[in-house]
Structure 1
């Protein structure tokens, strides 16, 4: 969900934090490092992800609203009283003020009747009640985007000052990551708040909205506020709100450190000196709220700039009791543990937690390092202020080997009663901000959670996972994904990072520096199978990208040698596994590869036939003595029988029928035809014989 740009103070996408270069006051044994995302447990925002408190004639908190959801607050008000509201939201919401009858219609779906209505993201004002009765203030998300809403509503008999907030750094277990909400929780044994006051002049006004004020007082506080979770041996979960606070007199530099422990397990939870031991004591406020407190004045008085770190640690003793240690340290100093507290409740675990779910009494389960009024729900006004804050937690639980800035930074606190006017927060880095005098502007400042979106077109998926900055991820996609074996497949082409940067290797190692998208670019390929008896196109077969054009080119005649040759006839092109798709009789053709194809090259085989005869013969009706020519395989040649008279002899050849199935070199064999020769010469021999006999006889007679 995209959030309004005017409500977010987001860091640029490619911040690289030089954590080790920060002016961090802490135990030298710690290494400052952003943790991997598995240190955090991802959760989901629900209707229960709201922190709401109600005190006397006042209600406030942070609520999560999805489109169509609303939050109602009902109360009794007298005629002439004022209903004050102060609402800030990450997206547009609507405020309704309704009487009992109108509220009944509202919950039935009729929103046309109301006493007062306003829509916006930052609304401050009041409504004067005209008639005593029951009234409802409803905050409704009527838009298309989910909202986080910070609100306060109060009832007063007279105009009251504008509501203010404690300002600084707060982690509520909710981050705005690339325009969407990311909810998480984590546990730790230690929080550290670094404070440097460069200049400060504060003064309490004549009145505060809470009703408590010391007009003209120059004191203010810097508070490290965290929540300890105790899982008791009896199976219960208890919440304790821990305050490690610096009180600072901006006029003369007097400094006190003070700790408070409150029982947040339920609205009416109590503390007792019998179960809580430390340097301080438990006392009650208005006989209904119990708090443990201990305070120490620091000497000498502070001179500016003044730097101090507040350290809160928790754990479980060897006898199974939760303990809390409150400490402070100066630059290059060691920690002074000024109060060590034991809560005598048998437990199985005790730790501090940040979670988007509320504590037992409905207040935030958060961590805050904020500047506010000094004490007793008092407010103050920043006349001149420049205070640097850094909020860190130890990880991983329970070994606590490293320190990290809190993962998300909102610029306002919510669980403390003290507030400050005219204080503006300026982001420096993750978990680091300056509180300056200037107009208050509630906002989300930063997070080191970053989204990695992997888009895979093959399964039409777009999966977003959350990492922390500087995390290294490895993507190793298969080089090929088979669609139909030996017919079609997808080939990994490259990875496209954030739509611009291309990586062609199969394995991608990426250090995340900001919101990142990876598009896995596959190329569709088809198999081209070529069956070519000549072997000329055999190397042309294989995988081709869809859309490729393949040129087929064969000679019209291809001589195989040894009296054999091929005559090109056609390309028979088949869609693989189907009937004939195309027949091309041209010896050059182009195929656009948009399917798997099989190409069969059709050739006609011819053989060289040589027939030699000493005398003319008739071959298929043609008289010749020498025949040299190419003939198709299976073609028939008939050499007719013949007789010739040569050199006084008759010579004959019997004829020959030839089926051409290979190269042939034939000599026609002639032989003496004795019959013809004898028959031809017999009359002559007889005549010669008769003449010879006649001459001989006549010679004897004479």
Structure 2
């Protein structure tokens, strides 16, 4: 929703308790922003905003189709990112991690690759020591403004892209004796591939799960959310798309239960990369992302949970 310039007042009424509460406010200045679908654990019921909590051990997001498109940056880079928060509870406290399963596109050569990142969201200046994480990749440094952060990263080789592109991304977590195991994978028309198996070494883990919560923020003051969004290729880049016609969807898996987000928003706030000319609308039980401008609203989910199939294979495959 776009508001004209002016002075606005927002009234918060605590009708739950008589104690003081902390209000977490996210303020955006409009485009550019990551565009697609995002679950913040907030829904509007009869005009009243109500938070909710979702815990799950796997998130799956699918691109039903992407037509030919191009990005306007000089390096022709763009990305589609499945990002979520990992909550790790231990005997000595909790830790939070930002997990990213990304498709990077090089639009001038019609190539794509898969990239995963792990960031420490436990506090504003959390470290991610290379000795505390094991996978196919390694720990790198990123400088953003005055902040220096280290993060885990791994990337596959570039693959040739054919249209329409139909692929599902997934992130799956479980506890192991060393800490928490995180699987990053994808399902295409021929196979289910786990391209990176990462172990985060955390002692004395009592539980670990993916978390969406409208009640709290992480120790780094980021939202407990899940995002499936388009943006620039990397390093906070902003991409303008010359053309795009994508149909996307996502759902959660917790044990044998499969369910969809209660409410979705058409933009992300934790993802650094963004686009300045895309919008999202509901489309036949999924969501369409196109080039243009639209007065976007909350994307309420009125559809039944579905299990995405790619060439007859269930998205949660034995891989």
TM-score above 0.5, yes or no: yes
Deviations 1:401-447 (A, max 9, x none): 132222211110110110101101111255x2110011154421113
Find the counterpart in structure 1 of residue 271 from structure 2. 416
Q: Distance in 2 between matches of 1:362 and 1:441?
A: 28
The offset of 1:184, in angstroms, is 0.5
Deviations 1:159-199 (A, max 9, x none): xxx74111111000001223221210011100001013432
Say yes or no: does 1:246 pair with 2:82: no
Contact 1:393 1:406 (8 Å CA) reproduced: yes
Unaligned runs of 5+ in 2: 14-22, 306-319
Structure 1 residues 229, 143: closer, same or farther in 2, change over 3 A?
closer
Residue 284 of structure 1, CA deviation: 1.3
What does the per-residue CA deviation read over 1:485-509, in whole Å, with 9 as the maximum and x for residues that have no partner? Answer: xxxxxxxxxxxxxxxxxxxxxxxxx
Q: Is the counterpart of residue 183 in structure 1 residue 43 in structure 2? A: no
Asked if 1:363 corresponds to 2:232, the answer is: no
The secondary structure found in structure 1 opposite 2:136 is: coil
Which consecutive unaligned segments of at least 5 residues does structure 1 have? 1-6, 8-87, 93-116, 121-139, 154-161, 205-214, 450-467, 470-702
Q: For residues 31-50 of structure 1, what are the structure 2 equivalents within 5 Å?
A: none
Aligned to 1:438: 292
Instruction: Summarize the alignment of residues 403-552 of structure 1 with structure 2, pairs less than 5 Å apart.
Output: 403-428=258-283, 432-448=286-302
CA change 1:143–1:228 in 2 (3 A) is: closer
Query: How far did 1:143 drift?
Result: 10
State TM-score, norm by structure 2. 0.84
1:593-608 alignment, distance < 5 Å: none
1:123-522 matches, within 5 Å, as 140-141=9-10, 150-152=26-28, 163-204=31-72, 215-234=73-92, 236-286=93-143, 288-299=148-159, 301-317=160-176, 319-331=177-189, 333-346=190-203, 347-356=205-214, 357-395=216-254, 400-428=255-283, 432-448=286-302
Alpha-carbon separation, structure 1, partners of 2:127 and 2:295: 36
User: 2 CA distance for matches of 1:401 and 1:271?
Assistant: 32
SS of the aligned residue for 2:33 comes to coil
CA distance in 1, matches of 2:130, 2:11: 49
Secondary structure (helix, strand or coil) at the match of 2:140 reads strand
Counterpart Cα distance in 1 of 2:74 and 2:39: 32
SS in 2 for 1:362: coil
Q: Which has the larger radius of gyration?
A: 1
Residue 382 of structure 1 deviates from its aligned partner by 1.7
CA distance in 2, matches of 1:282, 1:143: 42
Aligned residues: 291
Higher RCO by CA contacts (8 Å cutoff, separation 6 or greater): 2
Alpha-carbon displacement from aligned partner over 1:235-257 (angstroms, at most 9, x marks no partner): x1100000000011223210110
For 1:33, the equivalent position in structure 2 comes to: none
Q: Kindly tell me: are residues 342 and 199 of structure 1, through their superposed partners in 2, closer, same or farther at Cα, counting changes over 3 Å?
A: same
Q: Secondary structure in 1 aligned to 2:131?
A: coil
SS where residue 165 of structure 1 aligns? coil
Taking a change above 3 Å as real, the CA distance of residues 412 and 294 of structure 1, as seen in their structure-2 partners, is same
**Which runs of 4 or more aligned residues in structure 1 lie more than 6 Å from their structure 2 counterparts after TM superposition?**
none
Q: Do the aligned partners of 2:178 and 2:200 also contact (CA within 8 Å) in 1?
A: no
2:28 alignment partner, SS class: strand
**Displacement, 1:219?**
1.7
> Residues of 2 paired with 1:203 and 1:270: CA distance?
34
Question: Are the aligned partners of 1:390 and 1:405 in contact in 2 as well (CA < 8 Å)?
Answer: no
Distance 1:411 1:150 in 2: 15
RMSD (Å) for aligned C-alpha atoms: 2.6
Is the Cα contact below 8 Å between 2:281 and 2:289 reproduced in 1?
Answer: yes
How high is the TM-score relative to the length of structure 1?
0.39
Contact 1:195 1:389 in 2 (8 A): yes
- Asked whether the equivalents of residues 196 and 307 of structure 1 are also in contact (C-alpha less than 8 Å), the reply is yes
Q: Which residue of 2 aligns with 1:119?
A: 7
Q: Distance in 1 between matches of 2:86 and 2:26?
A: 23
Q: Deviations over 1:23-60 (max 9, x none)?
A: xxxxxxxxxxxxxxxxxxxxxxxxxxxxxxxxxxxxxx
Conserved 8 A contact 1:376-1:418:
yes
Secondary structure at the aligned position of 1:394 is classed as: strand
**Could you say if the C-alpha distance between residues 200 and 180 of structure 1 is closer, same or farther in structure 2, counting changes exceeding 3 Å?**
farther
The alignment partner of 1:274 has SS state of helix
Give the match for residue 19 of structure 2.
none
- What is the distance in 2 between the residues matched to 1:437 and 1:197? 15
